[in-house]
Amino acid sequence: MQVKRIALYLARRGIVLFLTVVAAVYVTILIANMGGYVDEIIKSEVLFRVSTSVYQNPAYRGLNETALKKLVTELYENEIKRLGFDQPFFIRSFNYLADALTLNLGRALFLSSDSGSRNVRIILMERLPNTVLLFTTTQLILFFIGLFGGLYLSRKYGSRTDKIVSLLAPFSALPGWFYGLFLIIIFASVLRILPYGGMVDIPPPTDRFEYALSVLRHMILPIMSWLIAYSFFNIYTRRTFFLIFSKEDFVEVAKAKGLPEDLVRRRYILRPTLPPIVTDLSLTLIASWTGAVITETVFNWPGVGRLFYEAAALFDTPVIVGLVVIYAYLLAITVFVLELVYAILDPRIRIGVS
Amino acid sequence: MSSIIAEGLKSVASYKSALIGAAIILMLVGISIYTVAAIPYDEAVRLWRAGEQTWIEAPRNAYPTWYSYILQKRLPETIIKDSSKPELGVNKVIVPAGETIKVLRIEMSFAFDYDDIPSEINIFYTVRYNKSAPQITMTWIKPDGTEIELRKFNPGSDGAYYLSVDASLASREVERLVNKFGQRPSYELTPTVSLFAVEDRSILERDTVTVMKGVYRLSVEGLLLDPQSDFDLKLVVYGKVYGWAGTDHLRRDIGIALLWGTPIALTFGLIASVSIALIQMAIGAVSAWFGGVVDNFIQRVTEVFIVLPFLPTLIMVSTLYKIDIWTILLVVIILLSFGPGVKNYRAVFLQLKESQYIEAAKAFGAGAPRIILLHLVPRVIPTMIPAIVYSVADFVFLEAALAILGIGDPRTPTWGKVIEDSFYGGALFKGLYYWTLQPAFLLLITSLSFALVGLTLDKIFNPRLREV
């Protein structure tokens, strides 16, 4: 009975999540194709390709001008039909949607990978490790700083460190890239000990160890800028969160019972606060996957955020849709897994109280 | 409700940091009012988009004037002498020397008492004649008496003599120094340097070259060959400082953008944060109040918007339509109206919905709009204010971020625009830090002051936070 209820609940949530992904991807397709503008670009590119190939083909040299033009029109219409452009956008948009949802990401219109490929998947996979390396690392560091700093301060509440952190928290109103500007000025322009940006020295070192060292050197400033920007606020909010929780009645009762402080902290504060913290961590990690457009621009980091920006500026629809669909899937899967875990853990769902 | 706000204001005063924040906000509002009154928007846009012609008499990449105090030396300011506007130190005489021929003599002198060599020298001239153009010879006389012939020419039409980049003058100068000291300068000597440097061996090294102080003269002799012929010139010795904010790579006064950036940043930030919060709250209230299908629909739409990547979508829309800053603002509001905030407000309203006074209102037969607008919303507004104030900073930075990505409004001078220009102008490589740091500093104090006030309001309006 219980298993059936949980399964039913999860199935319903699964369907809803999937529909959300479908809707989000469809909206992206609509926006990215805005006003048929992108179609016009593709059509003119096809016409250009077809006419160059006809006019440069020695086999057609004998033909006169009208015959050549007729041939071009014919080939162009074939090509348009092959690409599916003869159908109205409304129908095509659903073809795009189906392709996107089955992760058939297709080829980019303008962008290409460093290896020269137009395949969206290859372009994406080339950028993804860079972004994960930088931002997932940063987010993990930030998360643990916030967690342990918050726990520590909630114990030392009212101390000098606590006051300093509270005082510094408003500085998180400035985004990471903004601190990046200052760090670049200090460490790259004035002191000249760290690079201005990029991911690796130019030319890249051939030795593997040197290469890794060079990448690490390039990671210092972006990571530092985010840590400066968000650490204090993270610690501050976590501390407040723990403090509010430690005022709950059941914690007071546990203390009144005379339980050791360590046990109270572990079992009565940390355990009930764990689900929101885990949710927070997983969603942050998924979001870190899309990179940070502006930080990557400021530090010239070749990541997914930069790719997103380049694709948006060039209206490279397949790349944009590809990025959104992967992000949407990952987000939906994460949310689903979290709900699965909570469905098993949360007694309200287990026994069917809505 | 008014008593809550009055109470709130009283407690704000008891927090020092909030007071500082409020003072800065007031100052920024004052600057905005002054700017809007002093420089009309169209004028600001015109000046910012004007290009070289409007700014031709301003130095390129000049430091702000206050740099002189920091560096403890007097950096040169721009000196302009115009022969058509007689003043002390500018003399123009035309003497007849035959039936049609006249002799023209222009003498310009100016005292140069600065500790550094100017950045650039240009001479702009206007000429009038019927058949044959006048013959003009220009000579530069340094304070120690050294005479340097700059150029001998027949100006056919109005024009400019870009002295600093005159290659033939540069090579003649090198030759002159070789004759004088028997050695070539060890660096690429520009005319600007050789016209202003002390005439001894120090001129041969880049590191030792020093500026010669004293009275400089520009002497122009000309033969006017027609009766109606005339010739005038304007000497511009570009300084290394300009105004209170310096200039950029297009000689524009950065001060204009810094001033105009203030009202734009404040309006953009305030409108965005207030309207997004209000719309999200309204949607949350509707969702919570009606429940059922309406609730379900709104929640699903919200989730779709959460999945949509905000910044890339905004980039796409703004690149496609090349929109101005106020349309960008509208798009931002639309994209964020269904943001995660809707879920928070919905949760708050769900709790309130069950409270007794709402039940009482229902019992009195109040309709849904009345209950939502008069009973639910006023209860939530005080708790929203901190978040609204706090998020102003986010939107101020959003505008700057869009400008840095190069997709902001290209016409309007804003702080972000200046930072972008400084990036592409290589400010960080060339050491022109004022260019990046001034707008950055303004961004910093603006967002910091809103954050300080916001966090304090949060403590006041959310008593649970006040305890801890």
d(CA B247, CA B370) in angstroms, rounded, equals: 56
Q: Are strands B214-224 and B159-161 parallel, antiparallel or unpaired?
A: unpaired
pLDDT number for residue B468 = 46
Tokens representing residue B97 in the block: 């020397």
DSSP state of B63: B
pLDDT number for residue A348 = 63
pLDDT number for residue B274 = 93
CB nearest to A294's CB, from B316, B401, B444: B401
- Residue span(s) of chain B under CATH 1.10.3720 come to 2-50+253-461
Tokens representing residue B336 in the block: 């964020």
Q: Which of A54-58, A225-229, A243-247 has the highest mean pLDDT?
A: A225-229
Residue ranges of alpha helices (H) inside chain A are 2-32, 37-56, 65-83, 89-101, 120-131, 137-155, 160-168, 176-183, 208-246, 249-256, 261-263, 271-288, 293-298, 304-314, 317-345, 347-350
The residue type of A311 is A
> Which of A84-98, A210-224, A246-260, B427-441 bottoms out in mean pLDDT, i.e. has the lowest?
A84-98
d(CA A141, CA A147) in angstroms, rounded, equals: 10
Residues from chain B contacting residue A20 (CB–CB below 8 Å): 300, 303-304, 307
Contact flag A20-B300 (C-beta cutoff 8 Å): yes
The three-class DSSP label of residue B238 is: strand
Interface of B with A (CB under 8 A): 17, 300, 303-304, 307-309, 311-313, 315-317, 319-320, 390, 393-394, 397, 401, 404-405, 407, 419, 428-429, 431, 433, 436-437, 440, 443-444, 447-448, 450-452, 454-455, 464-465, 467-468
Distance between A339 CA and the closest CA of chain B, angstroms: 15
Calculate helix-pair angle for B341-353, B254-290, nearest 10 degrees.
40
**pLDDT tens across A236-272, in order?**
888 888 888 888 888 888 888 888 888 888 888 887 7
- Residues whose CB falls within 8 Å of the CB of residue A50, separated by 6 or more in sequence, listed in order: A72, A75, A76, A79
Q: Kindly provide the b/e burial profile for residues B192-202, where b requires at least 16 CB atoms within 10 angstroms of the residue's own CB.
A: bbbbbbbbeee
Contact flag A244-B437 (C-beta cutoff 8 Å): no
DSSP state of A87: S
- What is B2-50+253-461's CATH topology? MetI-like fold (1.10.3720)
- Residue span(s) of chain B under CATH 2.60.120 come to 67-238
* Sheet with B120-128: strands ordered across: B79-82, B230-238, B120-128, B159-161
- ipTM above threshold 0.95: no
Domain segments of chain A as ranges:
2-101, 127-178+230-345
Phi-psi region of B251 (alpha: psi -120 to 50; beta: other; left: phi over 0): left
Tokens representing residue A294 in the block: 């502006």
pLDDT band at A183 (very low <50, low <70, confident <90, very high): very high
Contact flag A247-B468 (C-beta cutoff 8 Å): yes
- Which pTM does this prediction carry? 0.82
Residue A141 has pLDDT above 90, yes or no: yes
The three-class DSSP label of residue B93 is: strand
Give the residue carrying structure tokens 């550094």: B116
pLDDT number for residue A116 = 81
pLDDT number for residue A245 = 80
pLDDT number for residue B266 = 94
Question: What's the residue count for chain B?
Answer: 468
Give the residue carrying structure tokens 């002497």: B219
pLDDT number for residue B214 = 93
Angle at CA of residue A142, ends A136 and A147, nearest 5°: 125
Tokens representing residue B386 in the block: 């901190």
Residues of chain B with pLDDT under 50: 468
Contact flag B436-A181 (C-beta cutoff 8 Å): yes
d(CA A113, CA A115) in angstroms, rounded, equals: 5
B306 burial (CB, 10 Å; 0-12 / 13-18 / 19+) is buried
d(CA B96, CA B278) in angstroms, rounded, equals: 80
Tokens representing residue B414 in the block: 């804003």
Residues from chain A contacting residue B312 (CB–CB below 8 Å): 293, 308-309, 311-312, 320, 323-324
3-state helix, strand, coil in chain B (%, to 5): 55, 15, 25
Cβ proximity of A232 and A171 under 8 Å: yes
pLDDT number for residue A354 = 46
Contact flag B428-A185 (C-beta cutoff 8 Å): yes
pLDDT number for residue B8 = 61
- Nearest Cα to Cα of residue A20 among A339, A346, A272, A353: A339
pLDDT number for residue B384 = 82
- Sign of dihedral through CA atoms B314, B442, B251, B431? negative
Contact flag B311-A313 (C-beta cutoff 8 Å): no
The three-class DSSP label of residue B113 is: coil
Beta-carbon count within 10 A of A179 CB:
24
Cβ proximity of B319 and B407 under 8 Å: yes
> What is the dotted CATH code of the domain comprising B67-238?
2.60.120
Give the up-direction half-sphere exposure of residue A231: CA atoms within 13 A in the CB hemisphere.
16
pLDDT number for residue B463 = 65
Task: Identify the helix (H) or strand (E) that includes residue B435.
Answer: helix B433-461
Task: Report the greatest alpha carbon distance in chain A.
Answer: 101
Residues from chain A contacting residue B450 (CB–CB below 8 Å): 173
Q: Which residues pair with B141 in a beta bridge?
A: B147, B217
